[in-house]
Amino acid sequence: MSKHYPKGEQTRQKILEQAAQVFSVYGYAGTSLDALMQVTHLTKGGIYNHFGSKETLAVEALDYAIKEMQARFWEYLTDSRSSRARLLAVVQTFRSSIDDPRFAGGCILLNTAVEADDTNPPLKERAQQGIDDWLIYIKRTIHKGIELGTIRPDTEAETVASIMLATLEGATMLAKLYDEPTYMYRACDHITEYIESFLEENPT
Amino acid sequence: MSKHYPKGEQTRQKILEQAAQVFSVYGYAGTSLDALMQVTHLTKGGIYNHFGSKETLAVEALDYAIKEMQARFWEYLTDSRSSRARLLAVVQTFRSSIDDPRFAGGCILLNTAVEADDTNPPLKERAQQGIDDWLIYIKRTIHKGIELGTIRPDTEAETVASIMLATLEGATMLAKLYDEPTYMYRACDHITEYIESFLEENPT
């Protein structure tokens, strides 16, 4: 983490890592300034000095968490020219959030989306952007695959993106609620089968 | 609501209705005692007198909300002997939570599950029971359908229940996050097609 940042930026990244862990478990409303002070070993003034407000810190911590999950996605992407590899790397990233959680509270996008949708416009907007990144990537992959002949031409990019995200996020909720990864494995198998149904490229 | 309850029970049901609305929007941690006092027109003592604690009130409000959604499900169930009708009534109930929300904040089970999974054992347990009701109903429908010959014998009840709940809950999150019901419609279409893939009964 943040090995190549200058000192001030390193401190900032460390605070974001610690804050993201706390927010992921307790949510925005459930995270007190005291909890943030305790985990970051900063005073109230120190936190405000770096971030201005709890809300700004929450938005930046969400942003940090999104980037960390995207970095994981790029590790899983074995061949960026293959439609299959691109779509399965999305599935693998969600699976890993249960098998090898990067943040203690699970999928921060899901947690933030559910908490902020009615109550916190800046956090809601950042969660939308985080989900958008996935939706746009999937849609682009479908369009490109249709162009290249690796995906059936009647495949609806919007629909595939919706179904993949809904199923994988819903499975994250179930796996966390029951402390039972099987819910995620079943969703991954279902989505993998779904992906195979519109792929035209040969299995590699 | 609560038309046939005695007076004391009517007051209690009204408090639960009001509390469920507030919790659905702001979550457990985000709902202050002040907010609950304001919406119920009760004093702090009045609330504690009826429910003992904010946590007990939250658990009972969740219980109330689950029963209200189940009542809606029974309205959608046109023929309890048909496997198709039983499974599609589940889909219809989730769809209605977006098209005609019973609670302002969306699916209280989803909200509670995501918030309580790491932090609040009593609420987590009640959310598990609420999801269990759906999972068990779907599994029972599949087993019964296999027995009656209306569902293909190789259908895995556990898998169908997982996939249906994951997809419909995930779509609830997306539809709420983007204020865009299309995410729910796509999920409902996908799950309806999925259901048709293992049904053996003739379309009615």
Q: What pLDDT digit, counting tens, does each position of B145-168 carry?
A: 999 999 999 999 999 999 999 999
What pLDDT, on the 0 to 100 scale, is given for residue B179? Answer: 95
A174 part of contact set with chain B, CB < 8 Å: yes
What pLDDT, on the 0 to 100 scale, is given for residue B60? Answer: 95
Three-state secondary structure call for residue B151: strand
For residue B189, pLDDT over 90 is answered with: yes
Q: Which CATH number belongs to the domain containing residue A18 in this structure? A: 1.10.357.10
A149 part of contact set with chain B, CB < 8 Å: no
Question: What pLDDT, in 10s, does the model give residues A133-155?
Answer: 999 999 999 999 999 999 999 99
Whether B1 is covered by a domain: the verdict is no
Give mean pLDDT, residues B107-126: 91
What pLDDT, on the 0 to 100 scale, is given for residue B2? Answer: 44
The reported pTM is: 0.93
What pLDDT, on the 0 to 100 scale, is given for residue A1? Answer: 47
Whether A93 is covered by a domain: the verdict is yes
* CA dist., res. B187 & res. B168, Å (int): 6
Which tokens sit at B198? 């293992």
Total domains, chain B? 1
What pLDDT, on the 0 to 100 scale, is given for residue B202? Answer: 62
Find, among A127, A140, A142, the residue nearest to A69 by Cα. A127
What pLDDT, on the 0 to 100 scale, is given for residue B8? Answer: 77
Give mean pLDDT, residues B54-63: 94
Task: Kindly list the residues from chain B whose CB atom is less than 8 angstroms away from the CB atom of residue A27.
Answer: 27, 29-30, 115, 119
Among the listed ranges A51-60, A195-204, B69-78, B95-104, which one has the minimum average pLDDT value? A195-204
A164 part of contact set with chain B, CB < 8 Å: no
Q: Which domain holds residue A176?
A: 7-198
CB nearest to B166's CB, from A29, A113, A170? A170
Give mean pLDDT, residues A172-184: 97
- Does residue B56 or residue B4 have the better pLDDT? B56
* Cβ within 8 Å, pair B26-A171: no
Question: What pLDDT, in 10s, does the model give residues A84-121?
Answer: 999 999 999 999 999 999 999 888 899 999 999 888 99
Task: Kindly list the residues from chain A whose CB atom is less than 8 angstroms away from the CB atom of residue B185.
Answer: none
Whether A1 is covered by a domain: the verdict is no
Average pLDDT of chain A is 93
Average pLDDT of chain B is 93
Whether A203 is covered by a domain: the verdict is no
ipTM above 0.85, yes or no: yes
Which tokens sit at A78? 């074995």
How far away is chain A from the Cα of B157, in angstroms, using its nearest Cα? 12
